[in-house]
């Protein structure tokens, strides 16, 4: 038993898609979330800068006495997960391996698409992990640099979003049977993405897969929160505007939350 | 990537229920299995003896260069899992926490039954783990000392099995909505158990739950086997008769296997 919170980090609001799934699966766990919206998107930045920012988020979470850290950000996972995991003495979970291995299980044709930020796609980490597990799988990777700004600006249900998603993804249509949403922001665009790619394409939500893994690791390391009758206390922090963060978060999570501004 | 095999230990053939589920979920992983049928059942033995036997099984698996050890035996998990996990430098997974946490998720009434060997029930470990996670849950534990001998003697589909299961479980009927099969031998009796308890009772197969956890831990520790086109090589060892082991194993796994006798 360990009643300390689980720490989540993301470049902005995308990690909330992991949080929503965690709240559904493990409603008694407490959460500390830090979103670096002031410096989002991370995708186009150089790796060294992403590494530096990620360490700042990690150090912030460590000061909050978390029992586990979840990299709810594919870009940060691609650049810094292995390094951070090796250095901390608490479990550190990334979103890429859970998504990669679920995609392999889901694909019947052996043709998988991966959507991600410029950095995630440039790192080629999904292809590397998928083909290490399953060498015969074909991976088609597609950078979607316009998706995160749509979500961060709360325009993810707009007609602009439909246009951008259609133009970005039309080349992929028909060539794969499974697509990894390799950025935690993308599940907010899921209905539009599904519509463009067609109902017969399986979308893998790297964040939702990750929530299941959190549950298993809490068991393995014996650090579950006990299920008392108390309401869990969650803490959300953003490096940008708390009001903007709260608007997206409350809409996505379907509950009222408190958000504080923080300077890293 | 780590192409070494996963090691499984059990007091006998019960752990094959975990192996079957693993082969289904991760068909490219290789398995080394040791079943201590010569000294089964472990359930009625004193804890110190079970600890000693378990360490012998662990040491045997270590000589086979396994990358992970799965305690596919609730009795060994109850007695020695935490100790072995702390001492080895490879991941060691037990069957109890995956089963306990799945049972909590499955139960709507908050009334859970646990079936196990004399030692597992006497250790009270399922009640302890379930109530640590969920203090308000009521746990009714029932030792089923006649079940393992039915399975080890390959009589698990006999009319004797039906009679024994009915007499053992009838007191439990109607008082719980979820029942943990807290011994990896019991899934072989599953159709009979389900029939006695009624179709509306959810049976939790601790071994099947454990197979899912193996997959997550392989990802977390980055020790998956690559999915090459090669057929995986499995090795089964028993301390008793290879012929008797093979008969049950081939029936349960639905494939031909090689079994060797080993003296510990």
pLDDT digits (tens, 9 = 90+) for A6-16: 999 999 999 99
Q: Is residue A1 part of a domain?
A: no
- Say yes or no: A190 and A250 in one domain: no
Give the pLDDT of residue A36.
Answer: 97
| Domain interval for residue B188 | 96-207
What's B178's domain CATH number? Answer: 3.40.50.1860
- Say yes or no: B114 and B160 in one domain: yes
The answer, for A142 touching chain B at a CB cutoff of 8 Å, is no
- Say yes or no: A181 and A254 in one domain: no
Alpha-carbon distance of A132 to B226, in angstroms, equals 6
The answer, for A104 touching chain B at a CB cutoff of 8 Å, is yes
Alpha-carbon distance of A57 to A11, in angstroms, equals 9
- Say yes or no: B164 and B152 in one domain: yes
Give the pLDDT of residue B175.
Answer: 95
Pairwise CB contact (< 8 Å): B226 & A104? no
Q: Is residue A236 part of a domain?
A: yes
Question: A203 forms bridges with which residues in the sheet?
Answer: A179
Core vs surface per residue A87-121: b (16+ CB within 10 A) or e: eeebbbbbbbbbbbbbbbeebeeeebbbbbbbbbb
Residues 6+ apart with CB under 8 A from A116: A43, A74, A75, A126, A141, A142, A143, A144, A180, A182, A183
Domain's final residue, options A188, A207, A226: A207
Question: B180 forms bridges with which residues in the sheet?
Answer: B114, B204
Give the pLDDT of residue A60.
Answer: 98
Residues of A in contact with B91 (CB under 8 A): 220
Give whole-number Cα distances, A4 to A20, A21, A163, in Å: 19, 19, 43
What are the residue ranges in chain A where pLDDT is below 70?
Answer: none
pLDDT digits (tens, 9 = 90+) for A231-258: 899 999 999 999 999 999 998 899 999 9
- Say yes or no: A136 and A40 in one domain: no
Which two three-digit tokens encode residue B184?
């990896």
Domain's final residue, options B190, B207, B224: B207
Alpha-carbon distance of B78 to A101, in angstroms, equals 31
**Residue A11 known to bind ligand:** yes
**Residue B261 known to bind ligand:** no
Give the pLDDT of residue B132.
Answer: 85
Give the pLDDT of residue B226.
Answer: 85
In a mutational test of the B interface, the residue from A70, A86, A216, A229 whose CB has the highest number of chain B CBs within 10 Å is: A216
Question: B179 forms bridges with which residues in the sheet?
Answer: B113, B203
Q: Is residue A12 part of a domain?
A: yes
Pairwise CB contact (< 8 Å): B219 & A101? yes
ipTM: 0.81
Domain's final residue, options B189, B207, B225: B207
Give the pLDDT of residue B146.
Answer: 95
**Residue B184 known to bind ligand:** yes
Domain count along chain A: 2
Q: What single DSSP character describes residue B85?
A: H
Residues 6+ apart with CB under 8 A from A184: A10, A14, A15, A16, A17, A18, A72, A73, A74, A95, A206, A207
The answer, for B229 touching chain A at a CB cutoff of 8 Å, is yes
Spatial contact of B22 and B226, defined as CB atoms under 8 Å apart: no
- Say yes or no: A55 and A137 in one domain: no
Mean pLDDT, each 10-residue run in order, chain B (264 residues): 95 92 90 96 93 98 98 94 96 92 92 94 92 91 95 93 96 95 94 96 90 91 84 95 94 93 95
Residues 6+ apart with CB under 8 A from B4: B30, B65, B66, B67, B223
Residues of B in contact with A97 (CB under 8 A): 219-220, 222
| Cis peptide bond prior to B3, omega within 30° of 0 | no
Q: Is residue B1 part of a domain?
A: no
Residues of A in contact with B212 (CB under 8 A): 216
Q: Is residue A84 part of a domain?
A: yes
- Say yes or no: B55 and B12 in one domain: yes
Closest CA to B181 of B257, B120, B261, B238: B120
- Say yes or no: A33 and A126 in one domain: no
Give the pLDDT of residue B147.
Answer: 96
Spatial contact of A249 and A236, defined as CB atoms under 8 Å apart: yes
């Amino acid at each position: 038993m360990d009643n300390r919170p689980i720490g989540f980090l993301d470049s902005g609001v995308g990690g909330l898609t992991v949080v929503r799934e965690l709240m559904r699966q493990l409603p008694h766990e407490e959460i500390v979330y830090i979103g670096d919206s002031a410096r989002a998107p991370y995708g186009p930045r150089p790796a060294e800068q992403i590494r530096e920012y990620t360490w700042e988020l990690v150090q912030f979470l460590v000061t909050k006495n978390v029992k586990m850290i979840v990299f709810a950000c594919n870009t940060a996972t691609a650049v810094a997960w292995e390094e951070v995991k090796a250095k901390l003495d608490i479990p550190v979970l990334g979103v890429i391996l859970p998504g990669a291995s679920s995609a392999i299980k889901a694909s019947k044709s052996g043709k998988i698409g991966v959507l991600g930020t410029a950095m995630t796609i440039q790192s080629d980490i999904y292809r590397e992990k998928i083909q290490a597990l399953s060498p015969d799988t074909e991976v088609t990777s597609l950078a979607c640099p316009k998706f995160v700004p749509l979500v961060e600006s709360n325009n993810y249900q707009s007609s602009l979003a439909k246009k951008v998603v259609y133009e970005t993804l039309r080349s992929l249509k028909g060539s794969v049977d499974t697509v990894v949403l390799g950025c935690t922001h993308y599940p907010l665009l899921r209905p539009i993405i599904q519509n463009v790619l067609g109902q017969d394409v399986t979308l893998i939500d790297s964040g939702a897969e990750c929530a299941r893994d959190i549950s298993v690791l809490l068991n393995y390391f014996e650090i579950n929160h006990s299920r008392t009758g108390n309401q869990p206390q969650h803490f959300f922090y953003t490096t940008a505007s708390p009001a903007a963060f709260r608007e997206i978060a409350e809409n996505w999570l379907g509950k009222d939350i408190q958000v504080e501004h923080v300077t890293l």
